[in-house]
Amino acid sequence: MTTLPQHTEKKLGLVIDLDTCVGCHACVISCKEWNTSQYGAPLSDQNPYGGDNGGTFLNRVHSYEITKENMASQVVHFPRSCLHCEDAPCVTVCPTGASYKRVEDGIVLVNEPDCIGCGLCAWACPYGAREMDADAGVMKKCTLCVDRIYNENIPEIDRIPSCVRTCPAGARHFGDFADPQSNVSLLSDKRNGVELMPELGTAPVNRYLPPRPRDQIDILAPLLDTEPAQPGGLLGWVDRMLERL
C-alpha cells in the first residue's frame, strides 16, 4: 500500500557525521557488496571494463568545498543515501504499491516483484536516493540492511547496516530515532543534527552532523612573533656590516 503509515513504532535511521567522514568511500563499496548478493535483484554494472560504464549503487559520497570570504576553504565529504523520510514522497507516487514504508520500523522498501520500473519514485525523491537497475528494470534503494539488522544467523556485532559496520572513521551511526534515549537521538541532539532540504516537507529520519568549527589559529597569531626583531648594539652593527658584503 502506498498510503504512508500515520505512525511507525520505531524510526530506524542513520546519523552521518560530516565532521568525521574522511571520504574513503568504504561505505559505498561495503553497501554494494552486501546488497548485490542479498535482498532482491543484484546491483548490476554496465560495461564495467568498457568505455561508457555505469552501475547501481545505494550510497554515493560527494566531496564539497565550502568557501567564505576571508576564510580558508573547507572540504566536507558527504555520503548521500535514502533518508527513510516520514513523509516519503517516493512511496505515495508509486502506482503499483511496490514502494512502502514499514509500520514496525519506518524503513522504506521496494517490493521488487511489484515494481514496474516506471521511475516516478526516483523523480519524487529530492535526494537522488533511488536508482533503477539497468539490468533488472526495478528500482533499487537503501534497505537499511533490513536483512542484517534482524538477522540471527550473523554475529550480533554485525546486525547493523553494512555501511555503518564498515566505516573506518566511525562517521556512521545506526539506531532508533523514536527513542529519545537512543544512541542516534542523543548524538543528534548533542551535535545539532540537521535534516536535508527540510523545505520540501519530506521529514527525513536520517540526520547529518555538521562539521565542527575548525581551530582558529588566528587567536594565537599575535603571540607568535615570526619576524625576529633586528638585534641592536654591537651584534647588530656586525650583522648589518656583514649584510653589506
Partner 1 sequence: MHPAKSIIAFTSLSGLGFGLMVLIGLGLPQVMGWPALVFGLLAVGLAGIGLLASLLHLGNPQRFLKAFTQWRTSWLSREAVFSMFTMMLFALHIGLLFFGIRLIFLGYLASALAVATIVCTAMIYAQLRTIPRWNTWLTPVLFLAFAITGGALVTAQIYLGLAGSALVLVVQIAHWARGRRALERSGSTAGTATALGGLGTVRMLESPHTARNYVTSEMVNHLDAARAKRLKIVVITLLVAQCLMLALLPITHAVVAGTILLHLAGVLVSRWLFFAESEHVVGLYYKG
Among 9, 22, 33, 75, binds partner 1 (CB under 8 A): 75
* Residue 159, amino acid: R
Considering the complex, state which of residue 48 and residue 233 has its C-beta at the smaller distance from partner 1: 48
The verdict on 28 binding partner 1 (CB under 8 A) reads yes
Nearest CB to partner 1, comparing residues 116 and 238: 116
Q: How far is CA 227 from the centre of its chain?
A: 45
Instruction: Say which residues have a Cβ less than 8 Å from residue 198's Cβ, sequence separation at least 6.
Output: 204
Measured distance CA(163)–CA(80) in Å, rounded: 12
The interface with partner 1 within residues 130-159 (CB under 8 A) comprises 131-134, 136-139
Q: Considering only 89-97, 150-158, 163-171, 215-223, which stretch makes contact with partner 1 by CB under 8 A?
A: 89-97
In whole angstroms, give the CA distance from residue 30 to residue 221.
Answer: 44
Q: Which of 9, 22, 33, 97 binds partner 1 (CB under 8 A)?
A: 97
The residues, ordered by sequence, that sit 6+ positions from 11 with a Cβ below 8 Å of its Cβ are: 84, 86, 105, 106, 176, 177, 178, 205
Give the range of 31-39, 116-124, 162-170, 232-240 binding partner 1 by CB under 8 A. 116-124
Stated as kind and residue range, the H or E segment containing 237 is helix 233-244
Q: In angstroms, rounded to a whole number, what is the distance separating the alpha carbons of residues 147 and 37?
A: 11
Largest CA distance in the chain: 93
Using CB under 8 A, which of 68, 157, 215, 234 touches partner 1? 68
Q: Hey, which residues between 180 and 209 contact partner 1 (CB under 8 A)?
A: 194-201, 208
Nearest distance, CB of residue 40 and partner 1, angstroms: 13
The reply on whether position 58 binds partner 1 by CB under 8 A is no
How is residue 3 annotated by DSSP? S
User: CB of 42: closest distance to partner 1 in angstroms?
Assistant: 15
Q: How far is Cα 87 from Cα 122, in angstroms, rounded to an integer? A: 15
Residues of this chain, 5-24, that bind partner 1 according to CB under 8 A: 18, 23
126 touching partner 1, by CB under 8 A:
yes
With CB under 8 A as the contact rule, the residue among 60, 102, 159, 191 that binds partner 1 is 60
* HEC readout, 94-116: CCCCCEEECCCCCCEEECHHHCC
Query: Which range binds partner 1 by CB under 8 A, 69-77, 166-174, 183-191, 217-225?
Result: 69-77
Residues touching partner 1, count (CB under 8 A): 72
Closest distance of CB 215 from partner 1, Å: 15
